[in-house]
Amino acid sequence: MMTKERQQALSNLLRPASPPRELNNIYTPDQIQRLLDVVRKDGPWNLIIAQHFASADELIATMSGALPEDFELTLDMFLTPTFRGFYANYSAALYPEIEDCFYNPTFLEHAKAYWGAKYAKPQMMLFNVNGPAGNTDPGHLDSPSFRGVRYENSPTWLCSVMGKSGLFTDYLIKMAQVITWFSHDDASGFTYWPDGPLQAPQRLLPPIYNRGVVVQNEMMYHRGEANGPLEQQRPDGLEFSTVFSGDPADNDHWLLKTGDRVIARHHTDELRFLVHWSAEVFEDFAELKKNMDGSHDLSHEQAINMLIDDARAKGFAIETPSDPLHDATFIRAINAAYDIGGPTSYPDNAPVTPLYMPEVA
């Protein structure tokens, strides 16, 4: 089934079009302030994990390492106080005050140069923000998009498994990201596996304030790193309903609240703030047209059937699901057919935060 040869073959698929290219001084001070102002005035913001996943099976499908048969993982175990919001989506800026950041000609040139392509258009821009926070993520892929099956219209787990399978290369939409971090933590960087998850990782070393990379994160395992004092990385009272917002009494501080209870308060200088800009890239006009006119699109049914047929052909017992997009048993089984166990090594200074295991009374 999952032989070493198959593991290596799948690992070889998970490499970006080019190695990440480091950038410095990416945003101006005025742009940084405007980006933070949106976070302050339009909050509160929900946890990343609460926005994207309905079960631990769905989360694991985007990460690495299948669920153990004799142990029930829950989403609670992966909770970290990291929050997300969108500045732009569907190629449209959602806030006029950051249009120059989204419709950024320098970023578009970075994206085209990364692929050696002729055309590019901005697609999406989001932020992740947290105070001190652990990171239980052993390494993940960002959600890829395929013609007809995109991150906007599909579960995150499905797009991730499609990317890991190698079956949909002809449908993959070329993407490039400019990812920028703002963090003063001298121990918190960015770990990535440009040669596949079974090879040694590389690291963007801290501090990473206004530094970042041009990259294809949909096809490269990567992870952010924990930041801040260990004793503050999982505040008491953290729940799926916890939200992040500016402190109305002080423009230099931010609040984590569960219901009406403030569970943490952080100064701006304590934040780890990430801005993720993403573009779709087209090698030539023919590829641009094919991506825009819908003439070569996949359906969800086609994608699911391709995965099932391929997994069965490789000896995996996959039952036909009645609700394939949400069936936890099916998600677990189809992910197991394409999961290689994840990265095999980590930088000494950037270990994975252990899963949260509450004591049983």
Residue 127, pLDDT > 80, answer yes
Q: What is the pLDDT of residue 246?
A: 97
Q: Token pair for residue 140?
A: 């993940």
User: Cα–Cα–Cα angle for 92, 174, 125, nearest 5°?
Assistant: 30
CA distance 170 to 343: 26
pTM of the model: 0.89
Residue 75, pLDDT > 80, answer no
Q: Token pair for residue 40?
A: 């302050």
Tell which phi-psi region holds residue 84, choosing left (phi > 0), alpha (psi between -120 and 50) or beta. Answer: beta
The mean pLDDT value for 211-224 works out to 96
CA distance 275 to 254: 18
User: Cα–Cα–Cα angle for 210, 271, 197, nearest 5°?
Assistant: 70
Tell me: the pLDDT tens digits for 143-182? 899 999 998 899 988 999 999 999 999 999 999 999 999 9
Q: Return the bridge partners of 266, or none.
A: 254
| Sequence spans of domains, the chain | 4-336
Q: Does domain 4-336 have CATH number 3.40.710.10?
A: no
Name the residue with higher pLDDT: 253 or 65.
Answer: 253
Residue 63, pLDDT > 80, answer no
* Mean pLDDT over each residue of the chain, to the nearest integer: 91
